A and B are shown apart, each in its own frame.
Chain A
Amino acid sequence: MLVLRTLALGPLHGYGVAQAIRRSTGEAIQVEAGSLYPALQRLELQGLVTAKWDVSERNQRTRIYRLTAAGRKRLQAEVSRWEDFVRAVSLVLHPKTIED
């Protein structure tokens, strides 16, 4: 979901995705290459992202990943599922706050 969300902001290469996630979570989540690239491969196989070789902003040839329509739809589904989940969990944690 994080990868999809990051790519929803625009096409990026693998390292960019990692950096973006790190930055946007305030260094809280560091994505290792060992998890990131398999995840990207899986998304590509599922047709949620496409990739093609291009030149990055620093003149480095690399594979740029881009979200597909299916990927966008999946992101929405995932996000709303996650929000349902968070709401449910916070209902358990703070029964009052939500009722108010």
Chain B
Amino acid sequence: MIWLRRLLLWLPGRRRARALELQEELRANLSLAIQDAAESGLSPEEASRQGHRDFGSLTRAEEESRSVWFPGWDTLSQDVRFALRTLAKTPGFTTVAILSLALGTGAATALFSLVDTVVIKPLTYREPGRLVFVREVVPPLAHIYPTLPVNFQHFKFWREQARSFEGLAAIENGSATMDSGGEPEVVGGAYVSSNLFTLLGVEPQIGRTFQPDEDQPASPDVAVITDGLWRRKFGGSRDVAGQTLRLDGKPYVVIGVLPLSFRFPKKEDLGPLAHLSERSEFFLPLKQANSDGWGGDYDYIVFGRLRRDLTAAGGAAELNLIEQRIAAEHHLNRDLHIKMWPLQEVMGSPVRTSLTVLLAAVLLLVLIVCVNLANLLLARSHARAREFSLRIALGASRGRLLLSAMVETLILAVAGGVLGVLAAQAALNAFVHWGPVDLPRLDEVRVDGRVLAFAFVVSMLCGVLFGLLPALRLSRADPQNALRAGTHTISGSRHGLQLREWLVGAEVSLSTLLLVLAGLLLNSLWHVLRVDRGFAAEQALEVRVSLPSRYQSVEQKAEFFDQAAGRLRSIPGVRAAAASSRVPLTGESNVNHVILDGSDDGALDPVTKQLVMVNVRFVGPEYFSALGIPLLRGRAIESADRDRNVVVVSARLTAKLWPGQNPLGKMITCGSGVSRAEVVGVVGDVHSTQLERDPTLMIYAPFWKRAFQVSGLVVRSSAGSGLAADVRRAIQSIDPGIPAPRMRTMGDLVSESVAGRRFQMEVAMAFALSALLLAALGIYGVVAYGITLRRRELGIRMALGARAASVRRMVVRQGLRPVAVGLVVGMLAAVAAGQLIRTLLFGVSATDQWTFAAIASVLGLVAVLACLFPAHAAARIDPAGVLRED
């Protein structure tokens, strides 16, 4: 009841009205008292005096009554008002404090929402903890691919035999050209086992998902689509179920629409050789596998839901037993086993390391911010020591003083926090737009309640952390000492200076740590960009074309690419154009072992004695000149080779297969498309995955041996911006039913391939530079403060003949002392931390001496500069003036 009435007094206007009422009441009663006095026969003045005396203190009555309504409010609001006034009086300090806090909380908040979405938040599937992701381990290939996607026959056998799972589902990539009206469009999709959606626990928002028998070969063609495709293609119409979707010329009946929240894993999450579209927007029942072999074609992505009473280890053990049976029954002549991961861990795993690094960097930054503010506040606390001493001398309790000292820092913390959240919001938007595209679930990142709560906790912690130390020192002030010594407290503040030197040392070491790590990352990026890519990215363009399904035979497709290359070549400015199944830096494909004449088994590496695994690319005659890949021996593929069986190989492959021999004229077999082909040329090595990895071993076969539905062309051209339109016109002039080709310059591909690394480096650098700036501020602050403390001493020194230069030297020397200690500590910490990020480095060791030396000199230089400004001021002290001050 009391609190309710108290609360009512908080209503707008109520408080003021009640206070006025009280005043009026008091005045009325006072006049009653005066009247009383007057009636007893006193003169008006005396009556008034008597009335006042009888009544008691008006002000006290008013104040005490108010404190009945709001206990503690008056003092608190006093503190707040006082703090606001002091903060406003020192705008420099306030701005620096709020901005650095905003920097700290902003960075921490932005990163937290990323980590929260990508790593912590559960998937939108039902009971995601029981979902697992399975891949196979095939020992002969394990040296290149530790794990592979799953063979379909193995998957079917698991499904029949395994008891540990409520279900197992397979997924196969299946992009298609959608041509139901309007411009044909290539849409990513997947063939999935009919139980996939029940297994994941996803309920459709419209219609239904697949029924158990809908992946039987004879069942009708049906499709489930995502919310995005539904809105785009069917305008979000509720009666979409039963409508037709034409994919590659074949009609499919739409039976259901998945909810907006549905997320499908990304290819990057699912390990090497897992094929999946960038975005899967339609799902068709997986009716039959593309192969019924038991030995190869590890192509299928497999998810499972464990039975409630079983652990992942139990499920894995059972599958491994089944694998042994498969290996034995089908005489696979090798071991087979599986590897299983919780699906939750898989979705988002590639970014875990970099996010962890970022999180560590953010924590360091927040720490530096706190240390810096503690430092600045300590300087202020010196100025306020007299005020506090006075209050203690007048009987204020220490707890009360502690509170009023904290009020100021909490105000700063709140302001910084609010600004930080705004900054985080902006940073996240920027991140979603310009960040590396490979962050899973990036589009789900939001500043939500959890994030706000986090930001609040961080800024409050900051406030307490950086405010408590100075506040404690203040409230412990010794009144006698401080009051007696006046402004020249020497004894107590020496101690204060020492503390501040410690803080500067800590700050410098944290900044050193961040700078070194950022330096190592920068150095790595530089090395990656300097790697010999093996091709000339300049002026080269990749054009990817999806052929409609009516292009069936290899001849039809080859014919198309032949024509396309011809038309592209006739565009002005184009110097070379050629078909290419895949360009460098877009990953491995068509991987197989090679068989040489005179043997039935795969060729072995002469050193490691392991199978030599080769990528096959199907290319046109001008491929090498279009990409600037140097021809080392022999000749390139020519149009005249149409009736001959020839290939070109990469330099590293010849060194592996025929060390010291002439490779020209050798015969080689590799998967489908290369069978007993003659080597006619040797070309330079190119990087097909990442620049950081060794170049892949390559065989280039003519594209007319094997052409794909989705394939590309490469064009080298000096033409400018109009090229893309010309290319599109050229392609569609052959067949208007072909969807607009996708184009990327090879330069884009190169920067895309290092985008993640570049981004990591940039973020680390941003953190490190902010840390450096803060450290410089801290150093400056502590030196400048030291000089104000020692004004007298310095003045006396100068009066006694010390020269400006020597004073300056002394100040700088003393200022650099904590910096040197911090630098050494930071370097040692960086050596340890470098080991943790070793996997992110390329071409530099974690203890790279040049990086360390460079960082040390940068930091040293900044520190000297930060000392020089106050040192200059110190040298300009007027000795006479100082001595007169006393």
Contacts and interface: CB of A to CB of B under 8 A. Distances in A.
Contact of B61 (A30, A33, A45, A63): A33
Given A33-B55, A38-B68, A60 B5 contact: no
Interface in B630-651: none
Contacts of B29: 13-15, 33, 62
B467 to A, nearest CB: 34
A33 B26 contact: yes
B68 A32 contact: no
A10 interface: no
A12 B329 CA distance: 105
A62 B64 contact: no
Contacts of A47: 1, 5
Nearest to A43: B68
A31 to B, nearest CB: 8
Given A38-B68, A42-B68, A33 B60 contact: yes
Interface of B is mostly: helix
B58 interface: yes
Interface residues of B, number: 29
A54 to B, nearest CB: 11
Nearest to B28: A62
B313 interface: no
B35 interface: yes
Interface in A31-45: 32-38, 40-42, 45
Most buried by B among A15, A33, A61, A62: A33
Interface in A46-97: 46-47, 56, 58, 60-63
A19 interface: yes
A15 B65 contact: no
A14 B28 CA distance: 9
Contact of A60 (B2, B26, B32, B60): B32
A42 B486 CA distance: 45
Interface residues of A, number: 26
Interface string A1-18: 000000000000111101
B175 to A, nearest CB: 73
B65 A41 contact: yes
A12 to B, nearest CB: 11
B16 to A, nearest CB: 16
Most buried by A among B2, B6, B29: B29
B56 A56 contact: no
B320 interface: no
A33 B26 CA distance: 9
A19 B26 CA distance: 15
Contact of A58 (B1, B5, B35): B35
Nearest to B39: A58
B25 A63 contact: yes
A45 B32 contact: no
A19 B36 contact: yes
A38 B32 contact: no
Interface in B48-80: 54-58, 60-62, 64-65, 67-69
A45 B33 contact: no
Contacts of A60: 28, 31-32, 35
Contact of A45 (B30, B56, B68): B68
B22 interface: yes
A16 B29 CA distance: 8
Contacts of A13: 28-29, 32
B5 A62 contact: no
Contacts of B67: 38
Contacts of B69: 41, 45
14 contacts: A15-B29, A33-B26, A33-B55, A33-B56, A35-B64, A36-B61, A37-B62, A38-B65, A41-B69, A42-B68, A45-B2, A46-B1, A47-B1, A58-B35
